[in-house]
């Protein structure tokens, strides 16, 4: 099936602050080609880590095999259960530099941090600097994923307790990570950016 099972989505994409036991990363994707003012959907689906290979690398291998037309513009949107690790962020940043006609938007349910807590934030900063737009998933993103990638059997998406609060918390955390890349005119704007 092209669609993810409901329980699989809810378990892996729940934006808990401490997501114990959730070791796999799932990546839902949409690939579009932009033709002037319109866009055309080319593909959508989902992937997960396989045999020690992270899902971001699997997707890059998949899309590289397409032999993208350098004269056309493409937009890829990812919805991921975890943000990329440092190594994957490096691979994706390098890929984006090789394909200037491609834009990538990443919406992530949770931020991934390994033992070296400085590596992942640096990876996210480099990925952002390479042109990737990175954001935390909100209710509307979970709703979109539920209706696009999940075998929902016509059931409406119901947010879980803490979805909004966790999304706000993670958004603030991501802003603090990416803050050096933002231009902040004065101290008031800086406090607003941090959510203070």
Q: What is the pLDDT of residues 131-161, one digit of tens each?
A: 999 999 999 999 999 999 999 988 999 999 9
Query: Looking at the annotation, which residues are catalytic?
Result: 56
Torsion of CA 86, 137, 64, 35, to 10 degrees: -140
The predicted structure's pLDDT at residue 1: 60
Q: Cα–Cα distance between 158 and 139 in angstroms, integer?
A: 9
Structure confidence by residue, pLDDT tens digits, 28-84: 999 999 877 778 888 999 999 998 899 999 999 999 998 888 889 999 999 999 999
Nearest to 174 by CA among 140, 131, 123: 123
Q: Cα–Cα distance between 95 and 81 in angstroms, integer?
A: 21
Rg (CA), the chain: 17
Every domain of the chain and the residues it spans: 6-194
Q: Whole-prediction pTM value?
A: 0.87
Q: Which residue has the tokens 């992270």?
A: 54
Range scoring the smallest mean pLDDT among 82-86, 96-100, 190-194: 190-194
Q: 6-194 is classed in which CATH architecture?
A: 3-Layer(aba) Sandwich (3.40)
> What's 84's DSSP letter?
P
């Amino acid at each position: 099936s092209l669609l993810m099972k409901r329980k699989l989505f809810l378990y892996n994409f729940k934006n808990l602050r401490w997501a114990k036991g959730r070791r796999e990363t799932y990546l839902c994707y949409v690939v579009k080609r932009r033709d002037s003012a319109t866009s055309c959907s080319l593909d959508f689906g989902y992937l997960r880590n396989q045999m020690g290979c992270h899902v971001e690398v699997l997707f890059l291998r998949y899309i590289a095999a397409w032999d993208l037309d350098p004269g056309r513009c493409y937009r890829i949107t990812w919805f991921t259960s975890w943000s990329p690790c440092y190594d994957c962020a490096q691979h994706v940043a390098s890929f984006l530099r090789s394909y200037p006609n491609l834009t990538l938007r990443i919406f992530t349910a949770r931020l991934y941090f390994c033992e070296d807590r400085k590596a992942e934030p640096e990876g996210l900063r480099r990925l952002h600097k390479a042109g990737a737009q990175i954001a935390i998933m909100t209710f509307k993103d979970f709703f979109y994923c539920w209706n696009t990638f999940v075998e929902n059997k016509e059931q409406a998406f119901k947010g879980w307790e803490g979805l909004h609060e966790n999304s706000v918390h993670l958004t603030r955390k991501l802003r603090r990570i990416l803050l050096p890349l933002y231009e902040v005119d004065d101290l008031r704007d800086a406090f607003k950016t941090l959510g203070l």
